[in-house]
A and B are shown apart, each in its own frame.
Chain A
Amino acid sequence: MSKALVKDKKLPREAYKALEDIVGAEYISEEPVVLDSYRWVWGNEGIFGRRLAPFRPLAVVLPGSVEEVSAIVKVCNRFKIKFRAFSTGFETTALTSKEPMLIIDLKRMNRIIFIDEKNRIALVEPCVSLAEFFYECIKRGLRFNVISGGPSSSVVASSACHMGAGFQQVSGGYQPQNLLAVEWVLPTGEVVRLGSMATDSGWFAPHGPGLNLRAILRGYSGTNGGHGIITKVAVRLAPWFGPPRLEVKGGPPIYHIENPENLKLYFVAFPSLSNLIEALRMISEEQIAMCAHKTPLGGISLSMVTTESNNEALEKMERNKDMIQKACYSILVLLDAFSPKELELKESILKKILEETNGEVIQLSEKERSALLAFNLIALGTFRESFRPGGSFLVAAFNDSTIDAAANTTLVLEDILLRYAKEGKIVFMPGESWLAPIAGGQWCHVEQVYGYDAADPESIKAANEVLACSIKTMAEKKLGIWSDSCLAFDDSVNDIAGPLCFNYHRWIRKIRKMLDPNLVCEASWYTAKDE
């Protein structure tokens, strides 16, 4: 049911003036036409029944430095104004709130402050996107995980504020584990630095010498703005064996990327999920791959990522039924190596693994290879598979667990998803699930993505039903706790998962109250309740 617009709330004049004095008139606005563009984000339709939230923010302010951020937060405390900051802005967690708030758009804070090649670390500000960071890093023989949120996602948000898994985590590690020292504006406005920067020793470590509050700062799934504002993060980088610059040719929408020397992409199909899992496990253990993961949406991914439109994708599905069917139980492997000789060795190991697991290497056209390479390097294409079919998506199973448990969860939930997919209300194919091993493969991230039509109330309703049913099933069958708050607005998941898990929700509420005595951080995507 779509909610009507509620009457606009305004900031007290004195507060507006105080904010304006901090950033200057050019960087603050409370014009309705400006505010409207900050109350629209994907996912709103599932919460409010439409993309436009039923209330406008109080104002939008664009600080240019940590000093300005701190001063803004102090004003918020003085006037008891709810606020939330965001970086690149592409997330429902960035903009969706329970009540009108001050939006702190960090767009102007977009510096890559340094990339330290020798120590493989970098320091960045919030509005540095993953793609631009990737291109800067590879110039220096390094790389940073790009999460499945895509190329425009923020380095800071994905490592310090939010849940996020990526295609390179089998080699590059889990995003939160790559977080080193941090600059943090507390909910009170005080600026603190954590890890090695707590003692001003450099940005190199999360654990000190100095205070390490990483678990509180972001915990497992991120506090999504519930604990103040991160203004700088240092992150750990992985080695890059490709060229300093990707050679790109051709034109949109699928640009051609020359195959980088020392990198080789494989698309491999398996006769069953168990074969696939075994192969993923072995590839992870052998540590031969830069990327190794189950093709996220199976046949949907193959048809969507490698085509220019939904129509073309549907034609491809019809024309290549066999290949699409195989893609449902397939993996993407990107081998990287220091030298051609090492690549040869890794290829021979992969070949042996595939022999043992009945893996079939599927030959790709140049267009498919280019598209899937961009997909693995900068996550370009995740929108094609998740958003393009209908404008929005949700996730049924979403967890980190052992690879077996993760796969089992998706099998249990698949029936629910297929029921709705058969009616054409959501986009989902059998076998669809993203299994992405982390580091050596002890952990595995799982997402069971399904698309829906953001312009169709029936489809939105069905998507919500699937989500509710999935959470309930996961809780009842003890399949692991729904771990990502990104789809858990207003404590909906905390209230289900908390009692099953040592009442963690009560602890985080206490921590929140301690850090944020005036409760000025808008924390609907963390825990908004006050105990």
Chain B
Amino acid sequence: MPLEDYRSLIERCVRCSHCKHVPYVALARVDRRFRPVCPSNEKYHFHSWSAGGRTITSYSLMIGELKYSPKVIDVVYQCLMCGACDVSCKIQMDLEPYEVMLELRVKCVEDGQIPVEFIPVIEGLRKDDNMLQKPKSERGKWAEGLNVKKLPEEKAEVVFHAGCRFSFDEGLWSTARKALTIIKEAGVDVGIFGVDEACCGGRAYEMGYQGELVKYMDHNVESWRNAGVKTVVTPCSDCYATFKAWYSRFGRRVQVMHIVEYLERLVREGTIKLTREVPMKVTWHDPCHLGRRSEPYLYSAPGKPYITPEKKIMGIVAYDPPKPWRRGAKGIYDPPRNVLSSIPGLKLVEMHRIREYAWCCGAGGGVTYAYPEFSAWTAKERIKEARAVGAKAIVTACGWCERNFRDAVKDLVDGFEVYDIVDLVWEAMGR
């Protein structure tokens, strides 16, 4: 779906800068210090580092007035693809800034214009099916000794897809093990692919590698079908959004649940009991991919732009058939809050930028590979916000967020903790 297909939408960007801030009505509940919502613009200042700016960059490249340069690559890739801009823009406009930025990246990849740091990452993905440049043979190590069904040799209704981060980041293994144990002990027919699990393809796609997404999508969907899988459960928000949103974008519907949805159900049904006090004051970080980026595409347009044909009525630009807009409202926001509220002794305080206008953790869009200092800065800004509301710990449900936050709080002398929601549930279960 070439960038050119979005030309008329691009030409209707009015440069209002709404994409840089928390939506203006929601701003009523946000402290003024935290009104920016675009880390890229906050860090790099100039308008080019915003959704509006990148829309203009797309246009100028498209009509040949702008040529590639190292600075163009910086502008395109110093963006976390967190999608907060998209939410703010669509409060008032029928535009698609996120789709445009994504297609701009696809074009850059096609044109061979990428940060050099991407090359080993993508080569690693192609060779070892993961985004951490680790040997594929080590993929299932996190689950050793769990005595769980191994797919595809065995069949299971539910597959627990750990994802690249939980599979290879040893510091996060215990979270994945706890999550799988909880599901298994709840009597679910669950299995894992272990060493045969493959990347979801989502992170590569958000770096512009559309071909990798399609390749892994076809592979994963086929593998799950062969193993009799009906539902995919994952502790990784990136994988979750990929299965739910990106795969649906390319015509594949997958029954997927994030572990927080599963936990909420188990708590609600009384299958697991949260009885032990966890006396902590925590805040919840909405991962972009669990929240606004996880909305499924309600119609599939593989290979085509996410717009239906334009039709003008009374001079007003409409779409025929009407297009279901994705505005971030249908993300997974309440389940984690419900779970945390069920933990005795735990006090949940909200940050200012939450739900569909949450500030990103800094780990998205390939930034961790090419611009690690920007990634770290973004995470530290989030930790500052968490501390500003009096939290002693930040809780989330995405391995990528957790790793970035853990690295960000390493140097804090007065102590600040980072938890996966699974860890707190585990503790509240008295385990």
Contact B75 A33 (CB under 8 A): yes
What separation, in Å, do the CA atoms of A374 and B63 have in the docked complex?
A: 38
Which A residues are CB-close (under 8 A) to B12? 387, 390-392, 453-455
1/0 per position for A40-74, CB-CB distance to B under 8 A? Answer: 11100100001110000000101000000000000
Which A residues are CB-close (under 8 A) to B355? 251
Contact A135 B71 (CB under 8 A): no
A-B contact pairs, 17 of them (CB 8 A): A34-B75, A36-B60, A52-B63, A135-B28, A151-B24, A152-B16, A246-B28, A252-B87, A253-B329, A312-B322, A378-B24, A383-B93, A384-B93, A388-B94, A390-B12, A424-B315, A455-B7
Set B15, B325, B356: member contacting A251, Cβ < 8 A: B356
Kindly state whether residue A269 has any CB partner on chain B within 8 Å: no
What separation, in Å, do the CA atoms of A189 and B356 have in the docked complex?
A: 44
Contacts from B to A (Cβ < 8 Å): 7-9, 11-18, 21, 23-29, 32, 35, 45-48, 50, 52-53, 56-57, 59-60, 63, 65-67, 69, 71-72, 75, 87, 90-94, 312-319, 322-323, 325, 327-329, 355-356
Contact A37 B25 (CB under 8 A): no
The verdict on A309 contacting B325 (CB below 8 Å), with A90-B16, A107-B45, A387-B93 known, is yes
Contact B315 A252 (CB under 8 A): no
Determine the residue in chain A with the shortest Cβ distance to B321.
Answer: A311
> Which one of A23-31, A332-340, A434-442 is at the interface?
A23-31
Residues in A313-327 with C-beta less than 8 Å from chain B: 313-314, 317
The verdict on A5 contacting B327 (CB below 8 Å), with A33-B57, A52-B56, A383-B92 known, is no
Contact B11 A455 (CB under 8 A): yes
Contact B318 A310 (CB under 8 A): yes
Which residue of B11, B35, B90 has the most chain A CB atoms within 10 A of its CB atom? B11
Which A residues are CB-close (under 8 A) to B315? 389-390, 421, 424-428, 451-453, 459
Which B residues are CB-close (under 8 A) to A455? 7-9, 11-12
Which residue of A253, A378, A380, A383 has the most chain B CB atoms within 10 A of its CB atom? A253
Rounded to whole Å, the gap between the CB of A379 and the closest CB of chain B is 9
The verdict on A252 contacting B327 (CB below 8 Å), with A52-B59, A52-B60, A311-B318 known, is yes
What separation, in Å, do the CA atoms of A50 and B63 have in the docked complex?
A: 12
Rounded to whole Å, the gap between the CB of B354 and the closest CB of chain A is 11
The verdict on A152 contacting B56 (CB below 8 Å), with A132-B27, A132-B32, A310-B316 known, is no
Contact A424 B314 (CB under 8 A): yes
Set B15, B60, B319, B328: member contacting A89, Cβ < 8 A: B15
The verdict on A389 contacting B316 (CB below 8 Å), with A90-B16, A105-B46, A132-B35 known, is yes
What separation, in Å, do the CA atoms of A246 and B29 have in the docked complex?
A: 7
The verdict on A252 contacting B56 (CB below 8 Å), with A88-B17, A150-B16 known, is no
Rounded to whole Å, the gap between the CB of A137 and the closest CB of chain B is 11
Rounded to whole Å, the gap between the CB of A230 and the closest CB of chain B is 19
Rounded to whole Å, the gap between the CB of B25 and the closest CB of chain A is 4
Residues in A192-251 with C-beta less than 8 Å from chain B: 245-246, 248, 251
Determine the residue in chain B with the shortest Cβ distance to A318.
Answer: B313
Which residue of A31, A108, A311, A453 has the most chain B CB atoms within 10 A of its CB atom? A311
What separation, in Å, do the CA atoms of A248 and B29 have in the docked complex?
A: 7
Which B residues are CB-close (under 8 A) to A383? 14, 16, 18, 92-93
Contact B17 A255 (CB under 8 A): no
Residues in A369-421 with C-beta less than 8 Å from chain B: 374, 378, 380-381, 383-384, 387-392, 421
Kindly state whether residue A144 has any CB partner on chain B within 8 Å: no
Which A residues are CB-close (under 8 A) to B52? 37
Contact A257 B25 (CB under 8 A): yes
Contact A33 B72 (CB under 8 A): yes
Contact A453 B317 (CB under 8 A): yes
Rounded to whole Å, the gap between the CB of A459 and the closest CB of chain B is 7
What separation, in Å, do the CA atoms of A41 and B314 have in the docked complex?
A: 25
What separation, in Å, do the CA atoms of A88 and B21 have in the docked complex?
A: 12
Which A residues are CB-close (under 8 A) to B327? 251-253, 308
The verdict on A42 contacting B316 (CB below 8 Å), with A36-B66, A107-B45, A374-B25 known, is no
Kindly state whether residue A490 has any CB partner on chain B within 8 Å: no
Which A residues are CB-close (under 8 A) to B67? 32
Kindly state whether residue A329 has any CB partner on chain B within 8 Å: no
Determine the residue in chain B with the shortest Cβ distance to A250.
Answer: B329
Kindly state whether residue A155 has any CB partner on chain B within 8 Å: no
Kindly state whether residue A174 has any CB partner on chain B within 8 Å: no
The verdict on A135 contacting B32 (CB below 8 Å), with A41-B14, A60-B46 known, is yes
Which A residues are CB-close (under 8 A) to B314? 314, 317, 421, 424, 427, 429
Rounded to whole Å, the gap between the CB of A159 and the closest CB of chain B is 19
Which A residues are CB-close (under 8 A) to B29? 245-246, 248
Kindly state whether residue A131 has any CB partner on chain B within 8 Å: yes
Contact B313 A131 (CB under 8 A): no
Determine the residue in chain A with the shortest Cβ distance to B65.
Answer: A5
Kindly state whether residue A99 has any CB partner on chain B within 8 Å: no
What separation, in Å, do the CA atoms of A38 and B60 have in the docked complex?
A: 12
What separation, in Å, do the CA atoms of A62 and B41 have in the docked complex?
A: 13
Which B residues are CB-close (under 8 A) to A384? 92-93
Determine the residue in chain A with the shortest Cβ distance to B74.
Answer: A33
Which B residues are CB-close (under 8 A) to A60? 46
Contact A135 B356 (CB under 8 A): no
Which B residues are CB-close (under 8 A) to A278? none
Kindly state whether residue A136 has any CB partner on chain B within 8 Å: yes
Which B residues are CB-close (under 8 A) to A42? 14-15
Contact B92 A388 (CB under 8 A): yes
Determine the residue in chain A with the shortest Cβ distance to B91.
Answer: A253
Contact A388 B66 (CB under 8 A): no
Rounded to whole Å, the gap between the CB of A393 and the closest CB of chain B is 9
Rounded to whole Å, the gap between the CB of A195 and the closest CB of chain B is 27
Rounded to whole Å, the gap between the CB of B399 and the closest CB of chain A is 26
The verdict on A34 contacting B46 (CB below 8 Å), with A52-B59, A425-B315, A452-B315 known, is yes
Contact A427 B8 (CB under 8 A): no
What separation, in Å, do the CA atoms of A258 and B12 have in the docked complex?
A: 32
Which A residues are CB-close (under 8 A) to B15? 40-42, 89-90, 95
Return the 5 tightest CB-CB contacts between A and B, nearest first.
A391-B12, A251-B329, A383-B92, A455-B8, A151-B24
* Apart from A62-B45, A308-B325, 7 more pairs, CB < 8 Å: A27-B45, A33-B72, A34-B71, A37-B46, A37-B52, A52-B65, A383-B92
What separation, in Å, do the CA atoms of A247 and B23 have in the docked complex?
A: 15
Which B residues are CB-close (under 8 A) to A425? 315
Determine the residue in chain B with the shortest Cβ distance to A27.
Answer: B45
Contact B26 A248 (CB under 8 A): yes
Which A residues are CB-close (under 8 A) to B71? 31-34
Which A residues are CB-close (under 8 A) to B65? 5, 36, 52
What separation, in Å, do the CA atoms of A136 and B30 have in the docked complex?
A: 11
